[in-house]
Amino acid sequence: MQEGIVPLLEDTGLDYNLLERLLEGFRIREENFGKKIHFYSPGFKHYQVDDFYIETTPKFVDVSITGRNCELMCDHCASKILWHMIPATTPEELKRVGEELKAKGVDGILISGGSNKDGVVELYPFFKAIEYLKKELKLLTTCHVGLVDKALAEGLKEAGVDAVLIDIIGDDRTIREVYKLPHKSTKDYEESLRLLKEYGHRIVPHVIIGLHYGKILGEQKAIDIISQFDPDGLVLVVVMPYYGKAKFQLLPPPKAEECADVILYARKKLPKTPVVIGCARPAGPERTKLDLYSLYAGVNGITFPAEGILTHAKQIGLEPVISPNCCSTVIFPIN
Instruction: Give me the phi and psi of 98, to 5 degrees please.
Output: -60, -45
Task: Assign 3-state DSSP to the chain and report helix, strand, coil percentages, each to 5.
Answer: 40, 15, 45
- For helices 16-33 and 256-269, the axis angle rounded to 10 degrees is 30
CATH ID of 16-331, from 1.25.40.10, 1.20.58.220, 3.40.50.150, 3.20.20.70: 3.20.20.70
Q: What pLDDT sits at residue 82?
A: 92
The two beta strands, 36-40 and 319-323, are parallel
Residues 130 and 90: their CA atoms lie apart, in Å, by 11
Q: What pLDDT sits at residue 327?
A: 86
> Is residue 42 a contact partner of residue 88, using CB atoms and an 8 Å limit?
no
Instruction: Give me the phi and psi of 61, to 5 degrees please.
Output: -130, 165
> Is residue 90 a contact partner of residue 128, using CB atoms and an 8 Å limit?
no
In the sheet with 86-87, reading across from the earlier edge strand, the strands are: 86-87, 60-64, 108-112, 140-145, 163-167, 203-209, 234-238, 275-277, 301-303, 36-40, 319-323
Q: Which residues of the chain have pLDDT under 50?
A: 1-3, 9, 334-335
Q: Quick check: helix, strand or coil at residue 323?
A: strand
Residues 23 and 27: their CA atoms lie apart, in Å, by 6
Name the DSSP class of 212.
B
145: enclosing H helix or E strand: strand 140-145
Residues 271 and 252: their CA atoms lie apart, in Å, by 30
Q: What pLDDT sits at residue 12?
A: 65
Report the predicted TM-score, pTM, of the whole model to 2 decimal places: 0.93
Of the chain, the end-to-end C-alpha distance in Å amounts to 23
Closest CA to 239 of 280, 201, 271: 280
Closest CA to 121 of 158, 149, 80, 161: 149
Q: What pLDDT sits at residue 54?
A: 75
CA angle 231, 281, 165 (to 5 degrees): 25
> Is residue 165 a contact partner of residue 276, using CB atoms and an 8 Å limit?
no
Neighbours of 334 (CB within 10 A): 9
CA 135 to chain centre: 25
CA separation (Å) from 209 to 153, 190, 257, 309?
A: 26, 18, 12, 21
Residues 85 and 79: their CA atoms lie apart, in Å, by 11
